[in-house]
Chain A
Amino acid sequence: MTTVVALWRIPSARLALVLLAGVAFLALFGGALAPHDPLKQYTDDVLQGPSGAHLLGTDYVGRDVLSRLMEGTRLSVIGAVEAVLIGGLLGVPSGLASAWLGPRLEWVTLRVGDTLVILPFTVFAIAVAGTLGNGLQQAMIAIGILLSPIFYRVTRAAALGLRKVQYVEAAELMGATEWWTLRRHIWTKVLPNVAVTAAHATGAALLVVASLAFLGLGVTPPAPTWGGMLSSDLGYLAQQPWAPIFPALLMMATVGSLNLLADAIRDATGATDAPRRRTRSAPSPAREENRDVVRA
Chain B
Amino acid sequence: MTLVASAPVSLLAGRRAGAAARRTLPALRSLAGVAAVTVTVLFLASVVTFGLGALSDSNPAAAALGETATPADIARLDHEFGLDRPLAEQYVRWVGNALTGDLGRSWFTTIPVADSIRQALPVDLSIAALALVLALLVGGGAGIGAALSNGGVFDRAVTLVCSLLATLPPFVIGMALIVVFAVKLQLLPAGGYVPIQADPLEWLRFAILPALALSLDVAASIARQLRTSLVGELRENYAVGAEMRGFGRRRVLFGHVLRNAAGPTLAVIGLAIPLIIGGAVITEKLFGLPGVAQLSLQAAERGDVPVVLGTLLVTAVVVVVASLVVNLLQVLLNPVARRGGGARGAAR
Contact = CB atoms under 8 A, between A and B. Distances in A.
Contacts of A117: 1, 271, 274
Given A127-B296, A285-B232, A286-B228, A292 B156 contact: yes
Interface string A144-165: 0000000000000100100000
B56 interface: yes
Interface stretch (B131-139, B244-252, B303-311): B303-311
Given A115-B41, A231-B171, A279-B264, A292 B159 contact: yes
Contacts of B228: 282, 285-286, 289
Given A276-B267, A293-B160, A127 B311 contact: yes
Contacts of A179: none
B168 A251 contact: yes
Given A230-B172, A276-B267, A289-B228, A214 B167 contact: no
Interface in B1-39: 1-2, 4, 37
B231 interface: yes
B281 A131 contact: no
Interface stretch (B46-54, B76-84, B86-94, B208-216): B46-54
How extensive is the interface on chain A, given as a class? 35 or more
B45 A130 contact: no
A126 B167 contact: no
A120 B277 contact: yes
Nearest to B231: A285
A227 B286 CA distance: 13
Interface string A83-113: 0000000000000000000000001001110
Given A123-B293, A160-B348, A238 B183 contact: yes
B304 A130 contact: yes
Interface string B137-156: 00000000000000100011
A131 B51 CA distance: 10
B282 A203 contact: no
A214 B263 contact: no
B225 to A, nearest CB: 7
- Interface majority SS (helix, strand, loop, mixed), chain B: helix
A122 B58 contact: no
A231 B275 CA distance: 20
Given A127-B300, A238-B183, A259-B166, A118 B267 contact: no
Given A210-B169, A241-B183, A289-B224, A130 B281 contact: no
B297 interface: yes
Contacts of A208: 169
**Dominant secondary structure at the A interface:** helix
Interface string B337-348: 000001001111
A123 B277 contact: yes
A256 B109 CA distance: 45
Contact of B168 (A207, A234, A278): A207
A112 B45 CA distance: 9
B256 interface: no
Contact of A131 (B227, B305, B346): B305
A102 to B, nearest CB: 14
B315 interface: yes
Contacts of A112: 44
Interface string B248-275: 0000000000000001100110010111
A252 B164 contact: yes
26 contacts: A112-B44, A115-B40, A115-B48, A118-B1, A118-B273, A118-B319, A123-B311, A126-B281, A127-B308, A127-B312, A131-B52, A131-B53, A131-B58, A160-B348, A203-B167, A215-B281, A234-B286, A237-B183, A252-B164, A256-B167, A259-B167, A278-B267, A278-B345, A281-B229, A282-B225, A285-B228
Interface of B: 1-2, 4, 37, 40-41, 44-45, 48-49, 52-53, 55-56, 58, 151, 155-156, 159-160, 163-164, 166-172, 175, 178-179, 183-184, 224-225, 227-229, 231-232, 263-264, 267-268, 271, 273-275, 277-279, 281-282, 285-286, 293, 296-297, 299-301, 303-305, 307-309, 311-312, 315-316, 319-320, 323, 330, 342, 345-348
8 closest Cβ contacts across the A-B interface? A120-B278, A130-B300, A130-B308, A131-B56, A115-B44, A255-B167, A279-B264, A122-B281
